[in-house]
Amino acid sequence: MRKENIRYHFTTQAALLVLTVLGALDTPVQALATHKDRPTNEYIVYVGTYTGPKSEGIYAYRFEESTGKLVSLGVAAKTVNPSFLAVDPNRRILYAVNEIDNYKGEKTGGVSAFTIDHETGKLTFLDEVISRGAGPCHISLDKTGKYVMVANYSSGTVAVFPVLEDGRLGNATAFDQRHGSSVNHEQQEGPHAHSIGVTPDNRFVLSADLGLDELLVYRFDAAHGTLAPGEPPFAKIHAGSGPRHFAISPNGKFVYVISEMGSMLTAFSYNAARGTLRELQEISTLPKDFKGKSNCAEVVVHPSGKFLYGSNRGHDSIAVFAIDPHKGTLTPVEFVSTGGKEPRNFALDPTGNYLFAANQNSDTLVVFRIDPKTGRLTPTGEMADVPSPVCVTFVAK
């Protein structure tokens, strides 16, 4: 397990329209009674944590986009170190990595599956499998929702698992053990897979490896869930920078990698036909006058494609950048305090109107409103207490 893990962690006309639609679909009218009082812009916010003296697992909150209010629903599921979460496209199942180095006597972590109760936010344990590597730290699904992908940090491996009909996971359909190292002998003594995800067309898989200073590219066979090296198989990141996470622009033309150790962003143009990357820019995530120690964590592109956000741990801020729509390059807009310590993760709500920052070392989830014209962030005053938060994800109710 990584050293940082030790710190634990809704008019009458509208109603008539709905009834008409339900009748056309032969949907029982009783279904309306279940949802009639529910705001159409309400979400469940799930927060993954590092468990220990304070945290018991995954926590749930109700968020109403129209009011910006966040209400605690308590512990959604008790599970060990659910440090990263992912929800299937049908919003039925939530998957979580269990970031540990020993699972039932094997040098590996786990992956847990839970069914989602949209009324209460509770998660019901469904199944778990080994992650095929120690210290699983990131999880995602392909665009069809048929495959779950996991990055295992400690062992430097990635694996793909098929999603069975009931949401459980089958035996891995793909596995890759990386090899090599980079210039920082303490943190890059070997491969450290830190994130994994598919491209918008579901044809390629990208994975950032902190230990190798590489963004790996795989050809993805969505029929069989297999991976094959791209041509070329990776794009190099500045030596010693430690690439951690990446984000792809909504139009699929640009890829942005945030590097933990180097506190920098690397922008690439992306050729979707060939699955190739061309570096465009390197830019710091920190203000020019910052002199302290800091490292990066999360990166997200706004759904409009106009802005990019990255988190700094140490400077404890969200760096906001404007994206040139033609060139894909980044221009700094502002650096905003997260109102807490160690913003390990943050996420934008599905509307793109709010940003939720998870401050791991101050046990808070802080909500910001996003200016749709400038991308700037303003604290809403809404804050939730959550122990050792490390991942935020949303589920429409």
pLDDT one-digit tens code per residue, 345-384 = 999 999 999 999 999 999 999 999 999 999 999 999 999 9
Write the DSSP string, 194-230: EEEEE-TTSSEEEEEETTTTEEEEEEEETTTTEEEEE
Tokens found for residue 295: 């490292």
- Is 90 exceeded by the pLDDT of residue 4? no
Asked whether the beta carbons of 357 and 341 are under 8 A apart, the reply is: no
pLDDT tens sequence across 217-238:
999 999 999 999 999 999 999 9
Asked whether the beta carbons of 39 and 87 are under 8 A apart, the reply is: no
Residue 41: the pLDDT is 87
Q: What is the mean pLDDT of residues 44-69?
A: 96
pLDDT tens sequence across 99-123:
999 998 999 999 999 999 999 999 9
Q: Which of 124, 68, 65 is nearest to 94 (CA)?
A: 124
- Is 70 exceeded by the pLDDT of residue 10? no
- Is 70 exceeded by the pLDDT of residue 28? no
Q: Which residue did the predictor score with more confidence, 27 or 291?
A: 291
Spatial separation of the C-alpha atoms in residues 202 and 255, rounded to whole Å: 15
Write the DSSP string, 265-331: EEEEEEETTTTEEEEEEEEESS-TT--S--EEEEEEE-TTSSEEEEEEETTTEEEEEEEPTTT--EE
Spatial separation of the C-alpha atoms in residues 349 and 298, rounded to whole Å: 15
Mean residue pLDDT across the chain: 91
- Is 70 exceeded by the pLDDT of residue 30? no
Spatial separation of the C-alpha atoms in residues 80 and 9, rounded to whole Å: 10
**In 10 A of CB 121, how many CB atoms?**
24
Asked whether the beta carbons of 133 and 126 are under 8 A apart, the reply is: no
pLDDT tens sequence across 54-66:
999 999 999 999 9
Q: Please list, in sequence order, all residues whose beta carbon lies within 8 angstroms of the beta carbon of residue 133, skipping any fewer than 6 positions away.
A: 108, 109, 150, 152, 154, 155, 156, 157, 158, 159, 193
Share of the chain above pLDDT 90, in %: 89
Q: Which of 117, 161, 114 is nearest to 136 (CA)?
A: 161
Quick one: pLDDT band at residue 86, thresholds 50, 70, 90? very high
Residue 40: the pLDDT is 55
Give the count of alpha carbons within 13 A of 320, CB side only: 22
pLDDT tens sequence across 184-221:
999 999 999 999 999 999 999 999 999 999 999 999 99
- Is 50 exceeded by the pLDDT of residue 36? no
Residue 123: the pLDDT is 98
Strand partners of residue 98: 110
CA angle (29 as vertex; 26, 34 as ends), nearest 5: 125
Output the CA–CA distances (angstroms, integers) from residue 202 to 136, 141, 252, 275, in the order listed: 22, 10, 11, 11
- Is 90 exceeded by the pLDDT of residue 16? no
- Is 50 exceeded by the pLDDT of residue 17? no
Residue 397: the pLDDT is 82
Q: Which of 79, 86, 160 is nearest to 124 (CA)?
A: 79
- Is 70 exceeded by the pLDDT of residue 34? no
